[in-house]
């Protein structure tokens, strides 16, 4: 609720703070138990930072993160350790996030060693169970991660993330580094695990097409702000924010008779150290009007579970 995460910009010999990068700037959102919330936006929009604040891997500059009724930002010591077991992260890079000097069984078994009192024998049988659960050949547990393909390495990262039976997982670009065919296998695996283990996901990606299949709801971020939230199919059928419409128009459609006109955005994403006035999207927005550069649109709740932050949403009839 009201989460901000600002990073100082330092410069000069004295390393003085000369500005702030407003990576996440006043975000309020809720993720329901058992759902997958897809979070999309171009790189640098703050989605990974938000994911890390949610897990308490970054302290928020302002705001509150509630997990099952506890403000995670206030926890320390034992309580934080207990929280760590319930919330896990799957990283983007299946190559960089696995220590190449550790055997696969030690990578997957590491959280068990850190958090559970288990004998080596118990750890080993849990590792076998986890590898089978994520579709890996457990007889290969005495090998190094380099001996596995990209998709298999991501399965190793997933096995590690679910080792402690967490409730909530942040998947930060978990499939972005993989080939498209491998992407859908990993997404199907995550969906299977969600059903079987009752997981809740915050699924972060830069493209809308990646989140479509897996997400119940989708939030779109632009320059540190959430600009639209909607149930997935409704968002695809009828985007309300011009930025969402532009992201959608970039996805090729299989049916050529139902072509969507491609909306090409002008210019680059502005710097989050110095965001534009009013609506942050206004310098690039095809629908911008005079009001947009002067007044910041707030995220408004609409009747059917949708939210949008725009003065002139694409379907004004939905605005009460
Ligand atoms: Fe575009 Fe204005 Fe809506 Fe911002 S508020 S998205 S500039 S129409
Ligand atoms: Mg990122």
How many CB atoms are located within 10 Å of the residue 124 CB?
16
- Mean pLDDT along residues 65-87: 90
| Residue 281 Cβ contacting ligand 1 at under 6 Å | yes
Find out whether the beta carbon of 285 lies less than 6 Å from any atom of ligand 1. Answer: yes
pLDDT tens across 191-240, in order? Answer: 999 999 999 999 999 889 999 999 999 999 999 999 999 999 999 999 99
Q: In a 3-state reduction of DSSP, which class is residue 266?
A: coil
pLDDT for residue 261:
74
Identity of the highest mean pLDDT range in 70-74, 138-142, 248-252? 138-142
Confidence class for position 320, pLDDT limits 50, 70, 90: low
Q: Which two tokens stand for residue 208?
A: 């809308």
**How high is the mean pLDDT of the chain?**
92
Rounded distance between C-alpha atoms, residue 50 and residue 91, angstroms: 14
- Average pLDDT (142-152) is 94
Range of lowest pLDDT (46-50, 84-88, 236-240, 251-255): 251-255
Q: Please report the pLDDT score of residue 93 as a whole number.
A: 74
175 contacts: CB under 8 Å, gap ≥ 6: 154, 182, 183, 186, 187, 205, 210
Q: How many CB atoms lie within 10 A of CB 281?
A: 26
Fold designation for 28-50+69-215: Rossmann fold (3.40.50)
78-134, pLDDT tens digit by residue? 888 888 899 999 988 767 788 999 999 999 999 999 999 999 999 999 999 999 999
Which atom number of ligand 1 is nearest to the Cα of residue 291?
Answer: 2
pLDDT score, position 238: 93
Q: Whose CA is nearest to atom 3 of ligand 1?
A: 310
Q: How confident is the model at residue 315 (pLDDT cuts 50, 70, 90)?
A: confident
297 lines ligand 1 (CB under 6 A): yes
The Cα–Cα gap between 234 and 268 comes to 28
pLDDT over 80 (residue 252) = no
Q: Give the whole-number percent of the chain exceeding pLDDT 90.
A: 74
Contact 127, 111 (CB under 8 A): no
Please tell me the distance between residue 47's alpha carbon and the centre of ligand 2 in angstroms. Answer: 6
Q: Which ligand is nearest to the CA of 91?
A: 2
Tell me the pLDDT band of 295, cut-offs 50, 70 and 90.
very high
DSSP, collapsed to helix, strand or coil, labels residue 221 as strand
Compute, in angstroms, the gap from residue 37 CA to the centroid of ligand 1: 24
Instruction: State the pLDDT confidence band at 246, using cuts at 50, 70 and 90.
Output: very high
Whole-prediction pTM value?
Answer: 0.93
Judge whether residue 64 has pLDDT over 70. yes
Higher pLDDT, 13 or 122: 122
Distance of CA 185 to the CA centre of its chain: 19
Is residue 225 lining ligand 1, measured as CB closer than 6 Å? no
Residue 316: CB partners within 8 Å, gap ≥ 6? none
Question: Residues of CATH 3.40.50.300 domain(s) within the chain?
Answer: 28-50+69-215
Q: What is the SS3 assignment for 21?
A: strand
CA distance 193 to 60: 30
Of 92-106, 161-175, 251-265, which range is least confident?
Answer: 251-265
DSSP H helical segments within the chain, as ranges? 47-54, 77-86, 104-115, 120-133, 150-162, 180-197, 208-212, 232-237, 242-249
How sure is the predictor about 43, in pLDDT bands with cuts at 50, 70 and 90?
confident
Calculate what percentage of the chain has a pLDDT beyond 70: 96
Judged by its nearest atom, the ligand closest to the C-alpha of residue 263 is: 1
The contacts of residue 304 (CB under 8 Å, 6+ apart) are 234, 318
| Confidence band, pLDDT 50/70/90 cuts, at residue 318 | low
Q: In this structure, how many other beta carbons lie within 10 angstroms of the beta carbon of residue 223?
A: 23
Alpha-carbon gap, residue 229 to 241, rounded angstroms: 10
Contact 299, 226 (CB under 8 A): yes
Mutate to test the pocket of ligand 1, among 293, 310, 314, 319 (most ligand atoms within 8 A of CB): 310
135-144, 256-265, 302-311: least confident range? 256-265
């Amino acid at each position: 609720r009201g989460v901000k995460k600002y990073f100082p910009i330092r410069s000069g010999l004295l390393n003085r703070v000369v500005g702030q990068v407003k990576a996440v700037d006043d975000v309020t959102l809720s993720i329901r138990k058992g759902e997958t919330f897809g979070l999309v936006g171009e790189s640098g929009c703050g989605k990974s930072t938000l994911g890390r604040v949610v897990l308490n891997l970054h302290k928020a500059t302002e705001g509150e993160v509630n997990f099952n009724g506890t403000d995670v930002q206030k926890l320390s010591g034992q309580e934080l350790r207990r929280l760590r077991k319930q919330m896990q992260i799957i990283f983007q890079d299946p190559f960089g996030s696995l220590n190449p000097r550790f055997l696969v069984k030690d990578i997957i078994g590491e959280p068990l060693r850190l958090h559970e009192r288990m004998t080596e024998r118990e750890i080993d049988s849990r590792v076998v169970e986890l590898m089978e659960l994520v579709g890996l050949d457990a007889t290969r547990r005495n090998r190094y991660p380099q001996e596995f393909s990209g998709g298999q390495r991501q399965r190793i990262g997933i096995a590690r993330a679910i080792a402690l039976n967490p409730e909530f997982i942040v998947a930060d670009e978990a499939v972005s580094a993989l080939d498209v065919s491998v992407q859908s296998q990993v997404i199907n695996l995550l969906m299977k695990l969600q059903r079987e283990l009752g997981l809740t996901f915050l699924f972060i990606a830069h493209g809308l097409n990646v989140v479509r299949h897996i997400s119940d709801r989708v939030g779109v971020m632009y320059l540190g702000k959430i600009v639209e939230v909607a149930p997935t199919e409704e968002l695809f059928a009828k985007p309300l924010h011009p930025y969402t419409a532009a992201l959608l128009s970039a996805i090729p459609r299989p049916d050529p008779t139902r072509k969507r006109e491609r909306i090409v955005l002008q210019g680059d994403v502005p710097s989050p150290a110095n965001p534009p006035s009013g609506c942050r999207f206004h310098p690039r927005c095809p629908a911008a009007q005079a009001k947009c550069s002067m007044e910041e649109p707030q995220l408004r709740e609409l009747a059917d579970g949708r939210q949008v932050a725009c003065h002139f949403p694409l379907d004004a009839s939905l605005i009460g």
